[in-house]
Chain A
Amino acid sequence: MMLKYLLEKEFKQFFRNPFLPKLIVFFPVMIMLIIPWIANMDIKNINVSVVNHDSSSASEDLIHVIESSNYFILGKVTADYDEAMTLLEFGETDAIIEIPAEFEKNLLTTGSSPVQISINAVNETKGALGSNYLTAICMDFSSDFFEKHNMAAAGNINVVSTFNMPKLNVSVQNRYNPYMDYKLFMIPALMVIIVILMGGFLPALNIVGEKEKGTIEQINISPVPKFIFIIAKLIPYWVIGLLVLFLTMLVGYWVYGLWPENGFWTVCLFAVLFIFAVSGFGLIVSNYAKTMQQASFIMFFFILVFMLMSGLLTPLHCMPEWAQYFTIINPPRYFIEMMRVVYIKGGTLHDLWPQFFAHVFFAVFFALWAVLSYKKRD
């Protein structure tokens, strides 16, 4: 059986490579150990400066509330707005809260007082979250204040003078990720990134590497059928991709305590199909490329599109509609959906039939294309 000899060759070449066997172990482990702590959207440590024109006990209380919050670090407290603004411009503070003169007096007499918040929104996420937190703190402050002074919450504090809200007690329950830990969202995504990089890049460089060395001629001149040749190229990356995925899952379990409760076999099933598709895609690129450099750049392009348009980092439903349609033909989209359902919601195959059929389609489609795009003759 020809396939046996070709597989022997591929595995020997892979494990004899001085670099690749180390890469497939160290790369996933390093990414899994380091990136979850870095790629973090939890906003903490926002520097707030206060411009206090009032010097009353109410304004002191408000400053104290901000200071005691986990999210903020209290910076300069001053009576000069321009001074605070200079700090903001030099990036030494992220937000300014300005308390007007006669703040306490107005609150006690009219039941309302404006407070101005200025936020550095260069980092949009930090700006938006920071202003939300600050607003929420002001709300809490006002309700406490009125409670303390036995006043009806008729007016409340006015944030930027137009923010006039009736008081609601909202209680939020975070389902599936109760502590809103961003790592729980990121880790399954990282596993997918690692699988795409390892399972896609390595085969993309393989066939074109044989073209550069000239050894592909010796295969083209032989009676090896195209199908057998491509399968012999696919299977090793399939095995390697699965090993890499299991490695990331083990790190996820040991370090972060994450494990797909009910869905281990679901992950396996989808991974088998997904890696087959991704490696097939890599081989297609390799078939069309003339040099390894070309293949790398083509893969960079597609992997960027794959990642940014798959819901990996930003939710799909936030994209414009045309982009959402585009994600239908993006294979990693389905794999990521599966990983999040299985890892975060504890789902199984029964919740994932559409994703399953998408996987089957892409696996067959890319494998067939890989066979057809490999040309033994010119």
Chain B
Amino acid sequence: MEDNVIIAEGLTKCFGTFTAVDHISFSVKKGEIFGFLGANGAGKTTAMRMLCGLSIPTEGKAVVAGFDVETQSEEIKKNIGYMSQKFSLYEDLKVWENIRLFAGIYGVPEKEIAPKTDALLGRLGFEKEKNTLVKLLPLGWKQKLAFSVAIFHGPKIVFLDEPTGGVDPMVRRQFWNMIYEAAERGITVFVTTHYMDEAEYCDRISIMVDGRIEAMDTPKNLKDEFGVESMDEVFYLLARTAKRAE
């Protein structure tokens, strides 16, 4: 179990009488790309927020990067990166200012920030945009930048909540290349998505229906198990059993 960086056991979150996440258990290995799938309202975001230490579990426990989500959430936050479905860089700061801010917050030494920023902008091909306000960038560029900022400080795990929502197929392809590069560097990737072609890119996926994990395996095994050709069909077979309204 040494190389399991995320372990959840019976993790549950209730809002009043509503059980958003209902006793989910799973584990994610170091360096793995773990896809977290589910229809809208299935409880993906709530589960992810608990793992990130943003939301206190009602029941059950989870260990992320070796720290308990309930009692050591601030320790977890030092070891993860996060990029949310709602785009979350500061729109009124310039590109380099956003990188500098988050690098500083995560304790990257001041001397390293400037050269690393230039190197990053070089890799992204954003050199000309260094002094551009983030709000002036196209959505796809913002998403790529947000992902780069989320892993700038070299976290053990990066959580991506629908990172490619609303961007064109070209950028999605580039984005997934960035995810692979991060995974090669040993960063574990925990990603939620609606796109089933993206699910195929994951090492392993889980599918949530009505707050519970109904299936969890590699994309290939899942397709075999359900006897279908594509992840779309696997998802459809599971999601139609959902009783929760949107």
Chain A residues in the interface with B (C-beta under 8 A): 2, 4-6, 8-9, 12-13, 16-17, 213-215, 217-225, 376-378
Contacts and interface: CB of A to CB of B under 8 A. Distances in A.
A225 B88 CA distance: 19
Given A12-B97, A223-B106, A213 B56 contact: no
A214 B88 contact: yes
A13 B133 CA distance: 11
Interface stretch (B73-81, B165-173, B209-217): B73-81
A9 B93 contact: yes
Contacts of A214: 84, 86-88
A93 B111 CA distance: 78
A224 B105 CA distance: 6
Contact of A9 (B53, B54, B97): B97
Interface residues of B, number: 28
A8 B102 CA distance: 12
Given A2-B104, A13-B93, A218 B88 contact: yes
10 tightest Cβ-Cβ pairs between the two chains A and B: A5-B104, A214-B86, A221-B82, A218-B88, A223-B77, A223-B78, A222-B105, A9-B101, A16-B92, A5-B101
B244 to A, nearest CB: 21
Contacts of B93: 9, 12-13, 16
Nearest to B78: A223
A378 B15 CA distance: 11
B156 interface: no
Contacts of A217: 54, 82, 84, 86, 88
Contacts of A4: 104
A102 to B, nearest CB: 82
Contacts of A13: 90, 92-93
The A interface is mostly helix, strand or loop, or mixed, namely: helix
Contacts of A225: 74
Given A6-B105, A218-B84, 19 more contacts: A2-B104, A2-B105, A5-B104, A6-B101, A8-B100, A9-B93, A9-B101, A12-B92, A12-B97, A13-B92, A13-B93, A214-B86, A217-B54, A218-B88, A220-B54, A222-B105, A222-B106, A377-B54, A378-B55
A217 B97 CA distance: 18
Given A218-B84, A223-B105, A376 B92 contact: no
Contact of B56 (A17, A220, A222, A377): A377
Contacts of B84: 214, 217-218
A219 B104 CA distance: 12
B179 interface: no
A9 B90 contact: yes
A17 B105 contact: no
B91 interface: yes
Interface string B137-165: 00000000000000000000000000000
B42 interface: no
Nearest to A225: B74
A114 B30 CA distance: 103
A5 B99 CA distance: 11
A376 B74 CA distance: 9
B82 A377 contact: no
